[in-house]
């Protein structure tokens, strides 16, 4: 038989799973009534639900989970956040682990990284900069037909990338010299 602490941890984990693990609260989208209904359906069919039926009352669970959540909020975000979490928990009928979900969401957000720009795209960027500096598509510093200029730059970058011949003179030569520095 599991101890009370183990049962509470299992219940806490189940509620975190229901809440979406920090990615977004299902209860917030569905409303408290729908969340309570789905939690009621889960109560009998899961080990956590059976643990509740084995002797823990709702008020004990809510008090314990709210206390743990306030403790997490105080540790992660400071004592003011802990106090604010307690106020929010008094207003919420369900024992939602707000601070723990926020911490989990912040941890998920830290793992994402910016996608690296490909060599070809960097070559196109330098080619467009070369076109802007030249006087081929308008005066230096402006491009009067961006669509045509981009088309020319991507075609030249593609040819250089494949090792094909590119003109030495004119705008294509200017683009090719800029693109070769990258590719």
**Domain residue ranges in the chain:** 4-111, 119-180
- Tens digit of pLDDT per residue, the chain (183 long)? 667 777 777 777 766 655 554 444 444 445 555 655 555 555 556 666 666 555 566 677 777 777 777 787 788 778 887 777 777 777 776 666 666 666 666 666 566 677 899 999 999 999 999 999 999 999 999 999 999 999 999 999 999 999 999 999 999 999 999 999 999
Q: Is 105 helix (H, G, I), strand (E, B) or coil?
A: helix
Quote the DSSP letter at residue 117.
P
pTM of full prediction above 0.75: no
Q: What gap in Å lies between CA 56 and CA 61, rounded to an integer?
A: 7
Q: For the chain, how are helix, strand and coil distributed in percent, rounded to 5?
A: 70, 0, 30
22, two tokens: 């920090």
Q: What gap in Å lies between CA 113 and CA 1, rounded to an integer?
A: 44
Q: Is 176 helix (H, G, I), strand (E, B) or coil?
A: helix
Check: CB of residue 143 under 8 Å from CB of residue 131: yes
The confidence score (pLDDT) of residue 24 equals 43
Check: CB of residue 176 under 8 Å from CB of residue 160: yes
């Amino acid at each position: 038989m599991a101890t009370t602490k183990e049962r509470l941890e299992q219940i806490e984990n189940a509620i975190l799973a229901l809440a979406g693990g920090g990615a977004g609260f299902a209860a917030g989208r569905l409303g408290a009534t729908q969340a309570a209904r789905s939690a009621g359906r889960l109560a009998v069919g899961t080990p956590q639900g059976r643990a509740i039926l084995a002797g823990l009352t709702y008020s004990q669970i809510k008090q314990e989970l709210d206390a743990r959540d306030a403790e997490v909020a105080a540790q992660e975000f400071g004592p003011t956040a802990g106090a604010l979490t307690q106020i929010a928990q008094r207003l919420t009928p369900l024992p939602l682990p707000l601070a723990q979900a926020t911490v989990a969401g912040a941890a998920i957000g830290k793992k994402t990284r910016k996608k690296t720009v490909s060599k070809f795209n960097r070559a196109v960027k330098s080619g467009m900069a070369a076109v802007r500096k030249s006087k081929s598509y308008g005066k230096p510093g402006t491009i009067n037909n961006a669509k045509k200029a981009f088309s020319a730059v991507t075609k030249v970058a593609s040819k250089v990338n494949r090792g094909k011949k590119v003109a030495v003179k004119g705008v294509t030569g200017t683009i090719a010299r800029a693109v070769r520095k990258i590719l």
